Amino acid sequence: MSRLIDRRRAACAIATLLGLLCPGAFGADRLLAPIAGTDPAPPAPWHIVGLPQQTKPLTRFSVVEIDGRRGVKIEADRSYGNLVHPLTLPDAATLHLSWRWRIEVPLPSSDLREKGGDDTALKVCVFFDEPLDQIPFAERQVLRIARGRTSEPVPAATVCYVWDTALAPGTVLDNAFTRRVRYLVLESGSAKLNQWVAERRDVNADFKRLFGAESPAVPPVIGIAVGADADNTASRSVAYVADVSLER
């Protein structure tokens, strides 16, 4: 019996390193590995991902402690990058995503309504594996091309929660480059700079709000990401995220 348990634990450890869901891997209800451990770099399966064939600098991610809370410092300097935790979750109906975030240096020149201003000092995103036959033809072809240029999974639908510079909380809009990414602004402006702010979201409800017109059912969740980018505005931002948790 003990050998069987050991084999199951070993299989679970391998699955975790590959970014797959292993029941009980992170506790009874937690579906994500902690984003901040004891090392300077975020622990696996969290890993940094850029755009397909990216040549611009990558956003920097490092584990730090600030105000007694251990989290990830996210520094964007004319750069782009996400810290991604892969998943395989076929049923997203009861998922809730929570985290704490904090902005130290915002992006005053960003404007998510335009390509030239499409930068975020801090975002938390959910990746969905939406069926291709539910996606408009032109967007489907672009998605296929993107998938052919990288070994990383490219989600068919992404919901990104944003701490924006000026747009009002509750604002919903498409990414200026692709409608496969859609933003929901949760925080805005400078009133809460340099302080931790807690968030909790109903993944099912938010997908239906942003993508429900093209997908009648919530597709599988294949990843969670945190990130920042300052490449389009040629600027710099500093932010933090901690306590990222996905639970049923």
CB proximity list for 182: less than 8 A, separation 6 or greater = 157, 158, 159, 160, 172, 173, 174, 175, 210, 211
The token pair at 126 is 């959910």
Candidates 56, 223, 194; CA nearest to 122 is 194
Contact 81, 59 (CB under 8 A): yes
CB proximity list for 109: less than 8 A, separation 6 or greater = 117, 165, 233, 235
- Domains identified in the chain and CATH numbers: 29-247 (2.60.120.430)
Average pLDDT, integer, range 22-36: 68
pLDDT recorded at residue 191:
95
Whether the model clears a pTM of 0.85, i.e. scores above it, the answer is yes
The token pair at 10 is 């070993």
Mind listing the pLDDT tens digit for each residue in 167-212?
Answer: 999 999 999 999 999 999 999 999 999 999 999 999 999 999 999 9
Helices (H), the chain: 2-17, 137-147, 203-211
For the ranges 12-21, 41-50, 100-109, 228-237, the lowest mean pLDDT is seen at: 12-21
pLDDT recorded at residue 29:
53
Average pLDDT, integer, range 21-25: 44
